[in-house]
Amino acid sequence: MPGITRNGVRIDDSFAEAFPMRGTAILITGPNRKWARQAAVTLTGFATSVIGCGVEAGIDGEIDPRDTPDGRPGVRVLIFAMSSTELQNQLTNRVGQCVLTSPGSACFGDLVAPDQLKVGELLRYFGDGWQISKKFGGRHFWRIPVMDGEFLVEATTGMTKAAVGGGNLLICGADYESTLRAAEAAVEAMNKVKGAILPFPGGIVRSGSKVGSRYKVLHASTNDAFCPTLRGQVATALDDDLGCVLEIVIDGLTEAAVADSMRAGLAAIVKLGPKRGARRVSAGNYGGKLGPFHFHLKELAP
Q: What is the pLDDT of residues 228-282, one digit of tens each?
A: 999 999 999 999 999 999 999 999 999 999 999 999 999 999 999 999 999 999 9
Domains and CATH numbers, the chain: 3-18+162-300 (3.30.70.520), 20-160 (3.30.70.520)
The candidate with the shortest Cα–Cα distance to 172, out of 10, 6, 287, is: 10
- Cα–Cα distance list, 139 to 69, 70, 133, 136 (Å): 11, 13, 11, 5
Rounded CA-CA distance 77/90 in Å is 13
Average pLDDT over residues 280-297: 92
Rounded CA-CA distance 13/11 in Å is 7
Lowest mean pLDDT among 37-41, 255-259, 287-291: 287-291
What's the pLDDT score for residue 222? 95
Average pLDDT over residues 148-165: 98
- Cα–Cα distance list, 32 to 58, 75, 125, 150, 169 (Å): 20, 11, 27, 16, 35
The candidate with the shortest Cα–Cα distance to 113, out of 61, 56, 156, 69, is: 156
Average pLDDT over residues 168-195: 98
Cβ atoms within 10 Å of 173's Cβ, excluding its own: 27
What's the pLDDT score for residue 239? 94
By DSSP bridging, strand 196-197 and strand 244-252 are antiparallel
What's the pLDDT score for residue 229? 96
**pLDDT tier at 286, thresholds 50, 70, 90:** confident
Cβ atoms within 10 Å of 155's Cβ, excluding its own: 20
Q: What is the pLDDT of residues 55-108, one digit of tens each?
A: 999 999 999 999 999 999 999 999 999 999 999 999 999 999 999 999 999 999
For residue 21, the one-letter residue type is M
**pLDDT tier at 1, thresholds 50, 70, 90:** low
What's the pLDDT score for residue 252? 98
Lowest mean pLDDT among 11-15, 215-219, 237-241, 243-247: 215-219
Count of positions (residues) in the chain: 302
Asked if pLDDT for residue 2 goes beyond 80, the answer is no
What's the pLDDT score for residue 287? 82
Name the percent of the chain lying above pLDDT 90: 95
- Cα–Cα distance list, 36 to 92, 96, 106 (Å): 18, 15, 9
Average pLDDT over residues 193-202: 98
User: Mean pLDDT in the chain?
Assistant: 97
